[in-house]
Amino acid sequence: MNSIDKINKQKRLCLTLVAIGFAAMIVLAFTEKYIPYRLFRPILYSALALFAVGNMLLYIGIRCPKCNKIIGYAIVFSAGKMDQCPRCRVTFD
């Protein structure tokens, strides 16, 4: 497994956590009237925690394999395909 595969695996994991947390919050927004408050609160806090942990891991969890600098948001929100570290210019292939 080369470095770009490892980075893509980390990116998919973090984005999946964010998506699950966000989807749970959307479902809760539409079903809040029908769920008892004692059940609604723990589910909401769990969804918020998933969303927050996914975003934090997306930011600090994806690092360059050579210089170990944080490249999380740079790699996820880049306009084109990112094939090198923006700081140390090492290629990910």
Single out the residue of 4, 6, 9 nearest to residue 85, CA to CA: 4
Whole-model pTM? Answer: 0.81
The pLDDT, as a whole number, for residue 16 is: 93
1-52, pLDDT tens digit by residue? Answer: 787 788 888 888 989 999 999 999 999 999 989 999 899 999 999 999 999 9
58-78, pLDDT tens digit by residue? Answer: 888 888 888 888 888 788 777
| Strand-pair partners of 63 | 70
